[in-house]
Amino acid sequence: MGDMQVLRGMGVSGGIAVGRAVCIETRVPDVYRIPITEDQVEEEVARLYDGARRARYELQRTRDKANEDLGNELAAIFDAHVLLLSDPHFLGKVEQRIRKLLVNAEWAVHKTAEELDDRFAHLDDAYIRERSEDLTDVSRHLLRSLQGTAHHHDLSELPPDVIIVADDLTPSDAIRLGRAKVLGFAIESGGRTSHTTIIARGLNLPAVAGLAGVIGAVADQASIIVDGETGTVILHPTPEVLEQYEVRKQELDRRDSEFLETRELGAVTTDGVEVRLMANIDLPEEVGEVAPFGACGIGLYRSEFLYIERSPHLPTEDEHLETYRHMIEAAAPHPAIIRTYDLGGRKLAREMMATEEENPVLGLRGIRLTLARQDIFRTQIRALYRAGVYGDLWVMLPLVSTVDEVRSFRAFADDVLRELEQEGVPFRRDIRLGVMIEVPAAAMIADVLAREVDFFSIGTNDLIQYSMAVDRNNEHVASLYQPLHPAILRMLRFVIDSARAAGIEVSLCGEMAADPRFALLLIGMGMRRLSMSPRRIPEIKTWLRDISASDLAALADGCLAHSTAAEVQRHLDNFFECVVSREARERAVRN
Ligand code: PEP
Ligand code: MG
């Protein structure tokens, strides 16, 4: 056992997890070292050669495609890869590792590539260094090919008390791992609003992100604590520290059960202003949390996860329909707001993209991809209008930046409705259509957009990213990711005022809504609908039931008068200190 070590990052999903580390480096495909027994060796070696054969076949196909699209000279690059995959020296070394170390083929490939790469790196011949890049590429192909067949080396083999320590995790990694019942995450990259951390919160798994170098600091199987409340990770905790954390865990559980008692209470301020607190849902299993946490309907269902979970297969119309029906029923008697696929950007859309993009977050994402690939989206739109017959469904479009996109979508939807009508399939025509306000251009034309749609939902996760020019996943610029920046507050005020003037609903479904202080500021700015992870609802409800909307309106005016995010933060903190001490005074008088 090593000495205790404390690492600090960002607490991106609350709660405390105590367990054993499993390290995953995802910048190459996830590779686990899995011991095999003597009598599994032959089977494992056969898997290796089988995997190599399939990877060669795949590469050959890629080569042929490149030949058609790019010409023979560029396609020749793949020849080197195909050759390497037939190289008896490389595969022989991998085989030897499996036999000698009794490990799975993936691990043997990973380690052999690493060793050869290390040797190449020390040679200063440019040609050889290029071969090293080929090798990295080829070993990734081979790993993917092996993983495609690795039924007996899947995540279900992870022991029960695992905490994943990773350099980076995609949202789909987080879903897979979360469902494999891991206890928590400690990640090098990421920020509060990256989709991976949103998924961690959805699955109620403690997570700390922005932990530079954590992969190098942790050994597999090390004892580890992830404290998502404070953003702390503790390696090799002493028995005393473990005990302290046990006590804290119990306190948190108690706090959660106290919060649950607010379920039946209204989200109403002391001067009678009612606020709708709705649920953000990413995965179908989260709908079970809508009612217990007292959500008034679903304010955002990120339907793209339906696709991400089934990739590379596209969900069928019936799968869409069943999922939407499930959402609508869970939300009843309140509305369910379902967002059309927000794929592209960092959300995997391999099957739909013609080419790789250099800057995908500014690329063919959200509504842009919907309009570009109507052949694929038709299935989703048909299912949405069909699902309308089951209850109060609202449909929302992501990443809108122009009025034309809304009009094009309406024309597309009209076409789909004509088709359904001709087929005699039951559907609902008058579904409310809204847009996400998450691109600064959309925020600045909110008054114009408000005439085109039935509602707005503000996506601050992206609105802040695009306004501040700060990648929401990049831990290096996380300090510039400022929800309280005056530019953001002014934009929010403009959008809220524009919606009110046009008489349409406006809600906010970015992570900003889930922070009690930000939520109250937003209510002060006139927001009457907030959507968040359902687990956040009780705390926010508890806060707002103790404060008057008129005090919050004054708070918002005060905050909007400042010049920097730090000044706004101080203003907000002072206000809350006053409220807390006032509350304490009142309690003292009552008692
Ligand atoms: C947002 O951008 O605030 C939002 C809610 O959408 P997503 O997080 O899925 O991009
Ligand atoms: Mg968004």
pLDDT at 29: 59
| Ligand that lies nearest to the alpha carbon of residue 492, given by its number in the listed order | 1
Distances in whole angstroms, Cα of residue 379 to Cα of each of 351, 389, 409, 434: 15, 17, 14, 19
Q: Take atom 8 of ligand 1 and give the residue whose Cα is closest.
A: 461
- Three-state helix/strand/coil letters over 495-558: HHHHHHHHCCEEEECCHHHHCHHHHHHHHHCCCCEEEECHHHHHHHHHHHCCCCHHHHHHHHHH
- Ligand 1: residue of 194, 462, 470 to mutate (most ligand atoms within 8 A of CB) is 462
Pairing mode of beta strands 16-24, 223-227: antiparallel
- In the predicted structure, residue 90 carries a pLDDT above the cut 90: no
Three-class SS of residue 421?
helix
Q: What is the 444 CA–ligand 2 centroid distance (Å)? A: 17
Distance CA 79, CA 219 (A): 38
pLDDT at 238 over 90: yes
The atom number, within ligand 1, closest to the CA of 195 reads: 8
Position 143 scores a pLDDT of: 86
Percent of the chain predicted with pLDDT > 70: 88
**How remote is the CA of residue 509 from the centroid of ligand 1, in Å?**
7
* Closest residue CA from atom 7 of ligand 1: 461
Computed over every residue of the chain, the mean pLDDT equals 88
Q: Is the pLDDT of residue 584 over 70?
A: no
What's the gap in Å between 475 CA and the centre of ligand 2? 18
Residues 6+ apart with CB under 8 A from 459: 398, 436, 437, 438, 509, 510
pLDDT at 151: 33
For residue 35, the 8-state DSSP code is: B
pLDDT at residue 172, as a whole number: 74
Q: Please tell me which residue in 195, 320, 485, 571 is annotated as part of the active site.
A: 195
Question: pLDDT tier at 161 (50, 70, 90 boundaries)?
Answer: confident
Mean pLDDT computed over 403-413: 98
Q: Both tokens of residue 139?
A: 């070993």
On the question of a cis peptide bond just before residue 29, with omega within 30 degrees of 0, the verdict is: no
* Residue 270 clears pLDDT 80, i.e. is over it: yes
CA distance 204 to 448: 39
40 C-alpha vs ligand 1 centroid, how far in Å? Answer: 46
Q: How far is the CA of 418 from the centre of ligand 2 (A)?
A: 30
- Mutational test site, ligand 1, from 192, 193, 340, 507, max ligand atoms within 8 Å of CB: 193
Report, as an integer, the average pLDDT of 116-125.
70
Q: Which of 309-323, 367-381, 424-438 has the lowest mean pLDDT?
A: 309-323
CB count, 10 Å around CB of 344?
A: 26
The catalytic position among 141, 153, 485, 509 is 509
Residue 586 vs residue 230, higher pLDDT: 230
C-alpha to C-alpha distance for 165 and 472, rounded to whole angstroms: 20
Within its chain, how far is the Cα of 364 from the centroid?
18
* Ligand 2 is an ion; residues with CB less than 5 A from it: 438, 459, 462
Considering every ligand atom, which ligand is closest to the CA of 300?
1
Ligand 1 probe mutation, 347, 461, 518, most atoms within 8 A of CB: 461
When pLDDT is averaged across residues 21-37 and rounded to a whole number, the result is 78
Residue 153: pLDDT over 50: no
Atom 9 (ligand 1): residue with closest C-alpha? Answer: 302
Active site residue 195: yes
Whether 552 shows a pLDDT value over 80: the answer reads yes
Tell me: pLDDT of 591 over 60: no
CA–CA distance, 289 with 202 (Å, rounded to integer): 10
pLDDT at 178: 82
Task: Report yes or no: 405 and 370 within 8 Å, Cβ to Cβ.
Answer: no
For 211-220, 432-441, 465-474, which range has the lowest pLDDT when averaged over its residues? 211-220
Q: How many CA atoms lie within 13 A of 455 on its CB side?
A: 24
Instruction: For residue 347, give the ligand nearest its CA.
Output: 1
pLDDT of 28 higher than 60: no
Average pLDDT estimate for 221-240: 94
Nearest of 538, 540, 488, 553 to residue 513 by alpha carbon: 540
- Percent of the chain whose pLDDT exceeds 90: 63
**Residues 428-464 as b or e (16 or more Cβ within 10 Å = b):** eeebbbbbbbbbbebbbbbeebbebbbbbbbbbbbbb
Q: What average pLDDT does this structure show over 556-570?
A: 98
How far away, in angstroms, is 151 Cα from ligand 2 center? 35
Task: Identify the band that residue 154 occupies on the pLDDT scale cut at 50, 70 and 90.
Answer: very low
Q: Whose CA is nearest to atom 6 of ligand 1?
A: 459
Question: Residue 456: what pLDDT?
Answer: 98
Mean pLDDT of 166-177: 81
Residue-level pLDDT at 502: 98
Cα 98 to Cα 107: distance, rounded to the nearest angstrom: 8
* Averaged pLDDT, 461-478: 94
- Mean per-residue pLDDT, 132-149: 74
Residue nearest to atom 1 of ligand 1 (CA): 459
Instruction: Identify the residues whose C-beta falls under 6 Å from ligand 1.
Output: 300, 302, 342, 438, 459-462, 509-510
Q: Which atom of ligand 1 is nearest to the CA of 342?
A: 9
Ligand nearest to the CA of 488: 1
Does residue 141 surpass a pLDDT of 80?
Answer: no
Mean pLDDT for 321-328 is 97
Nearest residue CA, atom 3 of ligand 1? 459
Give the residues across from 20 on adjacent strands: 162, 223
Q: Pick 345 or 472 by higher pLDDT.
A: 472
Mean pLDDT value of segment 181-193: 88
Average pLDDT estimate for 110-125: 77
Ligand 1: distance of its center to the CA of 459 in Å?
A: 5
Q: What is the pLDDT of residue 525?
A: 98
Nearest ligand 1 atom, CA 193: 8
53-73, pLDDT tens digit by residue?
Answer: 888 887 787 667 556 644 565
Answer whether residue 349 shows pLDDT above 60. yes
Q: Which ligand 1 atom lies nearest to the CA of residue 280? A: 5
Does residue 444 have a pLDDT over 70?
yes
Ligand whose nearest atom lies closest to the CA of 399: 2
Q: What is the distance in A from the centroid of ligand 2 to the CA of 461?
A: 6
Per-residue confidence (pLDDT) for residue 357, from 0 to 100: 83
Distance CA 59, CA 79 (A): 8
Annotation says 320 is catalytic: no
Locus of tokens 């083929």: 105
pLDDT higher at 313 or 287: 287
pTM reported for the whole predicted model: 0.76
What is the per-residue pLDDT for 77? 63
**95 — pLDDT class (breaks 50, 70, 90):** very high
Omega of the bond leading into 333 within 30 degrees of 0 (cis): yes
Cα atoms in the 13 Å half-sphere on the side-chain side of 460:
32
